Structure 1
Amino acid sequence: MNQTNIFKLIQAIEQMNNDNIMRFTKAFSYPIGISPILVLSELRTKGPQKQVELAETVGYTKGAMTNIANKLVNLELAERLYDENDRRTIKLKITAAGEQALTEAQNIGKDVFTQLFEVLNEEEINQYLRIQEKLVKRIQDRRNQN
């Protein structure tokens, strides 16, 4: 494996990711980053969840998840649901405003990537797709081993 090319690839990926994040952040009208958006996506997909469950799913510490939850609640993008039988049990739920913010984020994300990939021809896109699928499979295989 050519270490020089691997290093160049890592730099190119970082540059592409940084540029995409900056373009996304500039276009997104809500004062939140990618992490809260991932949490909103989990809430939309799986419904109300405890913060501890969310932290595990998205890979954040409990403290980071508390900060994200507070931000989402303060912006009214999520709400806390209290269990009447056990007030210690609190779940986070996406609100209608959160649904709207998530839809906007997904649309902007699609636009950012579409503009990025316009430079590739059909053959290059197919090649890139095969490479990404191979890398995703590797990640999934490693997760399943743990």
Structure 2
Amino acid sequence: MAMKTTIFDLIRQAELLNNETMLYFLKNFNRNIGISQILVLAELREKGPQMQSVLAKKLGYTPGGMTSIANKLIQEGYAERQYDETDRRVVRILITEKGLNILADAQKEGQTMWQELYSVLTDEEIQHMITIQKKLFEHIVKDQ
């Protein structure tokens, strides 16, 4: 009898892989920073200073969640608030040198992790996995 896979099996498997991957990373990258904060730093490095509301929307965080992330980044010295000279109500988050350094360290650990965890897959399997995930993601978000 063939096993019947449901949407819930697929969601659960993706959730398990995602959770274990994050735990593996955090266990090996023993610093005072989380995945969400690293993602925000990467966005700031890539696109420059941004308002929290823009970051929240781009990265899928609630405004309250983004405030918490920004406060932690600022408290640790990984980012700082930048006030607009023409309108002090406009506040952007800016990555600092310390933030760039920890982001580089995180990416180095991520590369090591990639080599350890994904070595069981061929390059072709990895490409298929990425293609399938992108295709599903684009299909899901276009319908929202």
Question: TM over 0.5: same fold?
Answer: yes
C-alpha distance in 2, partners of 1:24/1:61?
24
- Using the aligned pairs only, state the percent identity: 42
* Residue 110 of structure 2: aligned partner: 109
Relative CO higher for 1 or 2, CA cutoff 8 Å, sep ≥ 6?
1
* Residue 132 of structure 1: aligned partner: 130
SS in structure 2 at match of 1:93:
strand
* Residue 31 of structure 1: aligned partner: 32
Change (3 A) 1:7 1:132: same
Q: Normalised by the size of structure 1, how large is the TM-score?
A: 0.84
* Residue 89 of structure 1: aligned partner: 90
Query: Structure 2 stretches of 5 or more lacking a match?
Result: none
Aligned length: 143
Q: Normalised by the size of structure 2, how large is the TM-score?
A: 0.85
C-alpha distance in 2, partners of 1:140/1:5?
20
Deviation, structure 1 residue 11 = 4.2
Query: Structure 1 stretches of 5 or more lacking a match?
Result: none
Change (3 A) 1:16 1:76: same
C-alpha distance in 1, partners of 2:114/2:35?
15
Deviation, structure 1 residue 9 = 4.7
C-alpha distance in 1, partners of 2:9/2:143?
29
Deviation, structure 1 residue 50 = 0.5
* Amino acid across the alignment from 2:21: N
Q: Does 1:71 align with 2:44?
A: no
RMSD (Å) for aligned C-alpha atoms: 2.3
